[in-house]
Structure 1
């Protein structure tokens, strides 16, 4: 019995050691195969009837290395970013200039009576610097004269500082705000995504040519439409950023000096003026109230007239009846 137990324990220990050795070997082989994973060629891995099963759509182009941003060389102060082109495109590096969006807001007070002249001058200034007016609004004072307003212009980014300085010379600057947004990282990321999506699109087009069944064609077409939709979205965003970068926006608020009135009227003359203004104000309020309730007054008048006529007719009938009764009594006697 004891020998059987010893044999059983010895066999169990040997079996455990073999199992641990086998598991360790499998884990080592798996990690080695993952560390050295060859690039897959999807155009050759296609077979009729099993195309999308062997070639997942989300792996067609993303297994290729995308463009990555690296630091600029030492001593370079140009403000440019250096990127490595993807391994599928080229091995040389390329530079991407900083993508900056410049905007400004300025408030200028011009001389009295020169608001419209300044407004037209700013619009002309935008056209002279490869720009245009995107928005304009004008406001009038109590006398009906245009004395203030806003104008938004967009000018070439290279002329931004020159245009802003010329606007400052048109009058007294009361407020200036300048903002600069750096969208270089977003721009580079979009370019990298666009390259990957274009590569994925080309792979899908190759698979489309090799498809032999309707089911395979439909699946590839659906994935191709999705990829092309993403490409159009990124291109639209890039075009929008290009426009904001190429043309700087300047918001200008122009105004004439406000007239200063003397509100300290004293003495008998001042009291008469204040009384007259008060009487005119009260008369204006009463007139407005009467105009507002005039429809109600008309309706009330019509109702009163009807009631008065009905009462009058009723009194006449009573008087007639009394007169008739009196005549009848006289005749009886």
Structure 2
């Protein structure tokens, strides 16, 4: 009898402990879902900060320099100078981005914009300047964007790790509101990643390919002192008179009805005055 009572009490305690275990498991599951929903941003931001601290390493960054150049000078022959520029472009493995020609008050000019690899910048300037005795304008700029490049690169890496963290949370979420909230955050992060990638690519392009603007011109002699011979003046006057007579006859052909009407009106008025005088 005592043994039966002991077995009954043992079964009762076992069942009670199982219920407590299930309740604890349910409570733990609810806590996990709360973590996924409301405080998810805090968890991800803490992880992001830890990633940033992990990425901080004592490395000497590669220097990023954007070089630009502006040259303006006078030349005796525009075509010869242009061929010299083209030869320097081929030699420097560059390309002409823009090529334009024009005329000012007393000069004709040509303006060429060249994109050239950064390492060939100095040699290209030397080749183009060969034979130029005087520059109206020669401006060389070197802008250090190393800090900006490092900042963009670090922010981009952080955003990518943040994206991976949200993807992990999305894989664990099993409630629709949690999934929608995480996907909204993912969409925002991906837009930021694309923007940072675009800025980084533009900066890298400006660093790797330098921009040089070359403007060369030729002075045109004024024609105010040119004289015309007397015979040419007579011939020009004769042609001008002929054109004037032709224009007059053409005008008469256009207004002949009005001329006839005016003559008839003058005739009748004069005839009436004659009758009155009689």
Q: Normalising to structure 1: TM-score of the pair?
A: 0.57
**For residue 122 of structure 1, what is the aligned residue in structure 2?**
85
**For residue 236 of structure 1, what is the aligned residue in structure 2?**
198
**For residue 138 of structure 2, what is the aligned residue in structure 1?**
176
Richer in helix (by share): 2
**For residue 162 of structure 1, what is the aligned residue in structure 2?**
123
Within 1, Cα distance between the matches of 2:260 and 2:35? 100
Do structure 1's residue 56 and structure 2's residue 21 form an aligned pair?
no
* 1:184 CA displacement: 1.0
* 1:54 CA displacement: 2.2
Within 1, Cα distance between the matches of 2:74 and 2:271? 86
Task: Please point out which of 180, 186, 192 is paired with 1:224.
Answer: 186
| Aligned residue runs from structure 1 range 11-160, under 5 A | 47-48=32-33, 51-56=36-41, 59=45, 61-64=47-50, 66=52, 86-87=53-54, 89=55, 92-110=57-75, 112=76, 114-139=77-102, 148-160=109-121
Q: Which moved further from structure 2: 120-129 or 217-226?
A: 120-129
For these two proteins, the number of residue pairs brought into alignment is 231
* 1:165 CA displacement: 1.1
Within 1, Cα distance between the matches of 2:35 and 2:264? 104
CA displacement 1:277-329 (0-9 Å, x = unmatched): xx99xx9xx9xxx9xxx9xx97x985x655444455567788999xxxxxxxx
* 1:275 CA displacement: 11
Asked if the contact 1:60/1:203 (under 8 Å) is kept, the reply is no
CA displacement 1:131-170 (0-9 Å, x = unmatched): 111111123699xxx9531111111111111111111113
Asked if the contact 1:49/1:216 (under 8 Å) is kept, the reply is no
**For residue 327 of structure 1, what is the aligned residue in structure 2?**
none
The 1:250–1:233 alpha-carbon spacing in structure 2 relative to 1, beyond 3 Å, is: same
Consecutive unaligned residues of structure 1, counting only runs of 5 or more, are 1-43, 67-85, 322-333
Consecutive unaligned residues of structure 2, counting only runs of 5 or more, are 1-28, 273-278
* 1:122 CA displacement: 1.1
Within 1, Cα distance between the matches of 2:198 and 2:138? 32
* 1:48 CA displacement: 3.2
Within 1, Cα distance between the matches of 2:98 and 2:57? 45
The 1:305–1:215 alpha-carbon spacing in structure 2 relative to 1, beyond 3 Å, is: farther
Within 1, Cα distance between the matches of 2:228 and 2:263? 51
Asked if the contact 2:73/2:217 (under 8 Å) is kept, the reply is yes
Q: Which moved further from structure 2: 99-108 or 306-315?
A: 306-315
SS of the residue 1:47 aligns to: helix
Larger relative contact order (C-alpha < 8 A, sep ≥ 6)? 2
